[in-house]
Amino acid sequence: MIISHPLLGPRDSAEFVYLGDASLIGRPHAFDDDAMEKFYEYQFLRDNPDGVHRELWYHEQGDRSWLVVTRDTATHDILNVELARDVARQSGRGR
Amino acid sequence: MTQRNRIEGGLVDRSTTLRFSFNGKRMEGHPGDTLASAMLANGQHLMGRSFKYHRPRGVLAAGPEEPNALVTLRAGALAEPNTRATTTELFDGLEAMSQNHRLSLEFDLMAVNDFLSPFLSAGFYYKTFMWPKSFWEKVYEPFIRSSAGLGALSGEPDPDSYDKGFIHCDILIIGAGPAGLAAALTAGESGASVVLADEDFKIGGRLNAETHLVDDQPGADWAHAAAERLEAMNNVRVMTRTTIYGAFDHGIFGAIERRTDHLPDSGGKPRQILWRIYSKRSILCAGATERPIAFPDNDRPGIMLAGAARAYANRFGAAPGNRVAVFTCCDDGWRTASDLAANGIRVSAVVDTREGASAPSIPGAISKLGDAIVATRGRKRLTSIKLRSGGWIEVDCLAVSGGWNPNVHLSCHLRGRPTWRPDIAAFVPGGSIPPNMRVAGAANGDLKLSDAVSGGRAAAAEASGDLGFRPRLEEEIKSSDELAGIEECWSVRNASGRAWVDFQNDVTVKDIDVSAREGFRSSEMLKRYTTAGMATDQGKTANVVALALLAERTGKSIAEAGTTIYRPPYTPVAIGALAGRSRGKDFRPVRLTPSHRWAASQGAVFIETGNWLRAQWYPRPGETHWRQSVDREVLATRRSVGICDVTTLGKIEIFGRDAAEFLDRVYANGFKSLAIGKIRYGLMLREEGIVYDDGTTARLGERHYVMTTTTANAVLVYRNLEFARQCLWPDLDVHLISITDGWAQFSVAGPNSRDLLRKVVEPSFDLSNESFPFMACAETTAFGGVTSRLFRISFSGELAYEIAVPARYGNSMMDNLISAGREFEATPYGTEALGVMRVEKGHFAGNELDGRTTARNLGLGRMVSKKKDCIGGVLSERPALNRADAAKLSGFKPVDKSEALTAGAHFLSKGQDATMDNDQGWMSSVAYSPTFGHSIGLGFIMNGGGRRGETVRAVDFVRGKDVEVEIVSPHFYDPEGERQRG
């Protein structure tokens, strides 16, 4: 596969390490009342769709960016590639 | 043997004679021959034995689809089994051996299987060998295993080398037949960068095997001229002997280029190159493969595909027989008859299943329309055929055409399914082919030459136009046209006897009947139940026939029945080519420590730890057992001073205004209060609350920290920190650099370590305990100005330091430390002594952090701060991880001091049976302690903290040991830590 890195252009997927569902960005708050339940879901429950999936890839043999790649798991079409940092900020994460 | 079947014409160079042997029989051929064509020229039709029934077999095809003529090429370690004689380019001195027989090819003991065939039909593994049950393991399975398989591996390491390469192009054209050449000319002239790849050693594809005219020249001449034009274009790369074996995502193709397979000796050059080709557009011009018709005893040597028969005559100047008959259900079969006759070969009969076939006149041949062949004779070579209309005809070769299957394979590698085209009775690439691929020529079902040429040009014009190039199409390519009518015929009905469908796997029409009758009625089930379409040829000649017959028997149309899934590789790829240079010790890189050269010069014994090669111990003269060396290194360190290269520990430099906050979140224990110039031990959890890694982090400045990780997790911890920094807290001001390789780091440990360091560190630096106490750090210089970092940390339990210098100074640093320490008898120590001292001190390491242990198990439960959020903090609170009786890290020593403890032993209370129910924990690390003079161990035992002094059993079934041990503190050595603080 070829992943179009937002900063570096098209790169072979062999340069990357795959992590999984981009929902891992959404780490819960530790001091919420139901933190245990939320962390359980965050850590152990994942969707595994046959189709469009947002997932985390790490450009380890490159610039060490974490990316959010929107990929169709059935066809391997890559629909969008974003810096995970930007996605995290857009979802309200900061400090 | 002379070339008695060599005829005039063809593309072989008769001015040069090549000598080769088959089963030791000496034969001759010419450049331009394949092994198969040369064998036919020498009158050798019998080339192998079939897989299951050991039937004598001859060559069926003239290309990569060959199921029968598989040979073992070359000898000794260079031997390569299952090589297709039809694609093996002849070279001088070639040695080939036939396969799959006991005794000889002519007289095969296993041919008895042919008479046992009623017991070996579809699914025989599951039926014939059922009873008695006890026979399976001892009798049936060994027998099946020794009988199964085709050729045998040499069992020796492959002496050849293989390379890998990468090619980027605008347009990849797969196949250099008429469509591919036309496409390449158009694409090349447009200015696009083009790769034209063909598996054959000669450009031209079927043009080399046919008598068609292109631009008023013989097709082969036109192809040769086209190849020369292409070679002259700087933007075109023509690759012969190159098979595109797989289509992968996003325009990536796998290719195998055979560089020296056609030479007597590779001369040290790579035998094959595995290419990864990145293309923006691709054009599949892979041609078509002819298929046989199933009729009784259709597998005798001398029966071959009609297109192959004329390829041998037209291209190779080798007569496939002396009296030939043709059996066909399409117009193409007649071309074989007329071409053979034109080559002076006697054609006795043409049998066409079609009543209304338009039958050209073939000199000397009888034409039988609406007829079929119902029987054949001749065990090792065809002698006669029987017609349904009656009568036997004496022939030594029968050319069969059941029509042509477009080579759709690469169009289906991304899960595409081909679609059925009734007018040509074949599957063609379907609607879902790889993105940016076009298909042209016979591969697309355009079986006529003029369609192939125009299709290739059109596809190339579109592809180059897509990419912004301007194709020029003013020059027409004139080509002759031919009839391509067909009425499908898969098998001859109402004829008795076994009719083969898959020659390589010995699958007959009857096997397909059995499969359908017994409920294996889908194409995939059929393949697995009958093995049709398996093995090295993957059913290139067999699949469509088998599927069509299955469709008939299950009352479906062929389109409904569908094909099995096509997967790479298109033809077999040697494992050696996939491995490339990554073999043996080169499988992955070896990382050498900065002091490696010094250690090697001292005769150190090395051990692989991850990718690293580290000194394990340094034997001295007279030491005959490793423990003598290790014990000496431990005792010398504890008595005076020892030095160890600890560069392999992960080192991560952390900068930024929020570095302290960041550390506070990635470590379970708090880091905000760490003062500049101080070091703190840090425990890292995984998000699910299990201990992940540990190390120390030193604060060198207001916004500057250096973290260490374990050797094994250096890469992974860095990855996780980047994840936390970018994905979890993107606005924290934190920056990371991996400096593991940047700094050489040495542990200087032992009571004299301070005195030693005083000799090498800048004199003004105060090393006294007051100004540089335990867990202090500083940046300074050593050895007269070399930038250094000094950490007062101890893994051994002694007064100890770690000193880091830029990696390029590492080797001389080791040398200089040892020289400076001569007055203290400074002793280099390796990983074994390091391990012994850490067990004596009770430090846990990789053996203890096995992915199951919690901080509580390690006795560090209170380190996990409840006041802050940290990775793993919440889920470490899960009740099951916090049971009161949780296993605790403890020390163990044998009651009988002479006993050696073993890691992996399980703990039991005395008097209990050794069962899992009674299991109370396990021993994780052991060492012989020279300090205490007996074996000691670390392990986890339930309620460990409250059981000190109790005696339990350590039972190790693997090593057959059952030892009484006393539970003690894990801190055997200096439990109060006075030495390291001194």
A19-57 pLDDT, tens digit per residue, is 999 999 999 999 999 999 999 999 999 999 999 999 999
Q: Test B726 with A85 for CB contact under 8 angstroms.
A: yes
Tokens linked to B288: 């078509």
Peptide bond into B159 cis (omega under 30): no
| Segment among A54-63, B509-518, B719-728, B861-870 with least mean pLDDT | B861-870
Collapse the DSSP code of B556 into the 3-class scheme (helix H, G, I; strand E, B; otherwise coil) and give the result: coil
Across the A/B interface, how many CB contacts are shorter than 8 Å?
82
**Given this model, what pLDDT does residue B147 score?**
64
CA distance B802 to B812: 16
A88 CA: distance to closest CA in chain B (Å): 6
DSSP state of A83: E
How would you classify the pairing of strands B162-174 and B194-197? parallel
pLDDT at residue number B316: 98
Q: What is the pLDDT of residue B107?
A: 81
pLDDT band at B466 (very low <50, low <70, confident <90, very high): very high
Cα–Cα separations (whole angstroms), residue B461 to B188, B408, B476: 10, 21, 13
Distance separating alpha carbons of residues B223 and B553, to the nearest angstrom? 44
Share of chain B above pLDDT 70, in %: 98
Query: In this predicted structure, what is the pLDDT of residue B473?
Result: 78
Residues in A closer than 8 angstroms to B688, CB to CB, are 43-44
What per-residue confidence (pLDDT) applies to B34? Answer: 98
Instruction: State whether B731 and A44 contact (CB < 8 Å).
Output: no
> A30 vs B731: CB contact, 8 Å cut-off?
no
Residue of A nearest to B878 (CA): A36
Give the count of beta carbons closer than 10 Å to the beta carbon of residue B673. Answer: 9
Mean pLDDT of all residues in B212-237: 96
B319-333 per-position pLDDT tens digit: 999 999 999 999 999
* Backbone dihedral angles phi then psi of residue A3, each to the nearest 5 degrees: -110, 125
Residue B148: per-residue pLDDT: 62
Residue B702 has pLDDT above 90, yes or no: yes
For B387-411, what is the mean pLDDT? Answer: 97
| pLDDT, mean of residues B330-345 | 96
Residues on B contacting A at a C-beta cutoff of 8 Å: 248-252, 278, 414, 435, 658, 661, 687-688, 715, 719, 722-723, 726-732, 869-870, 873-875, 877-878
Could you identify the residue written with the tokens 């008895």?
B112
Q: A-chain residues within 8 Å CB-CB of B658?
A: 95
Q: Do B731 and A94 touch (CB under 8 A)?
A: yes
- The answer to whether residue B118 scores a pLDDT higher than 80 is no
Q: In residues, how long is chain A?
A: 95
Name the one residue in this structure whose structure tokens are 């080769």: B20
Q: What is the mean pLDDT of chain B?
A: 94
- Which residues are CB-neighbours of B524 under 8 A, at least 6 positions away? B564, B565
* C-alpha–C-alpha distance, residues B277 and B31, integer Å: 30
The per-residue pLDDT for range B899-944, each reduced to its tens digit, is 999 999 999 999 899 899 999 999 999 999 999 999 999 999 998 8
Rounded average pLDDT over B462-469: 97
Order of strands, edge to edge, in the sheet holding B679-685? B679-685, B691-701, B704-709, B650-655, B735-738
Averaged pLDDT, B246-274: 96
Show which residues on chain A lie within 8 Å of chain B, measured between beta carbons: 1-2, 17, 19, 24-25, 27-31, 35-36, 39-40, 42-44, 56, 58, 60, 64-66, 75-78, 83-85, 87-89, 93-95
- Least CB-CB distance to A17: which of B719, B728, B877? B719
In sequence order, which residues have a C-beta less than 8 Å from that of residue B391 and are 6 or more positions away?
Answer: none
- Rounded to the nearest 5 degrees, what angle is found at the Cα of B863, between the Cα atoms of B862 and B865? 90
Specify the pLDDT at position B481. 80
What's the per-residue H, E or C state across B52-85?
CCCCEECCCCCCCCCCCCEEEECCHHHCEEEEEC
pLDDT at B230: 98
Q: Which of B256, B201, B258 has the alpha carbon at shortest distance from B568?
A: B256
Q: How far apart are CA B599 and CA B645, in angstroms?
A: 10
Q: At a CB cut-off of 8 Å and minimum separation 6, what does B178 contact?
A: B205, B206, B207, B214, B219, B223, B441, B449, B452, B453, B456, B479
- Write the single-letter amino acid at B188: G
By the 8 A CB rule, do B58 and B381 touch? yes
Residue B434: list chain A partners with CB under 8 A: none
* Predicted confidence (pLDDT) at residue B109 exceeds the cutoff of 80: no
Report the distance separating Cα B591 and Cα B712, nearest Å.
13
CA separation for the pair A1, B399 (Å, rounded) = 44
pLDDT of residue B568: 96
Q: Is the pLDDT of residue B137 over 80?
A: no
Contacts of B251 in chain A (CB under 8 A): 2
d(CA B54, CA B61): 19
ipTM value greater than 0.95: yes
Reduced to 3 states, what is the DSSP secondary structure of residue B483? coil
pLDDT of residue B234: 97
Cα–Cα dist B279/B193, whole Å: 10
- Interface mutation vs chain A, best among B864, B866, B874, most A CBs within 10 Å: B874
B398 confidence band (pLDDT: 50, 70, 90)? very high
Q: Which residues of B touch A30 (CB under 8 A)?
A: 869-870, 873-874
Residue where the block lists tokens 């043996």: B584
B247 has pLDDT over 70? yes
- The H helix count followed by the E strand count for chain A is 2, 6
Contact present, B894 and B901 (Cβ < 8 Å):
yes
pLDDT (0 to 100) of residue B114:
80
- Give pLDDT, residue B169: 98
Evaluated on CA atoms B200, B202, B203, B205, the torsion sign reads negative
Residue B130: the pLDDT is 66
Distance CA B908, CA B919 (A): 6
Q: Is the pLDDT score of B694 beyond 80?
A: yes
Residue-wise DSSP of A52-79:
EEEEEEE-TTTT--EEEEEEETTT--EE
User: What is the least distance, in Å, from the CA of A49 to any CA of chain B?
Assistant: 18
From A48's Cα to the closest Cα of chain B, the distance in A is: 20
User: What mean pLDDT comes out for the span B253-259?
Assistant: 98
- The pLDDT-based confidence of B146 (bands split at 50, 70, 90) is low
Would you say residue B653 has pLDDT above 80?
A: yes
Measured between beta carbons, which residues in chain B are less than 8 angstroms from residue A1? 248-250, 252
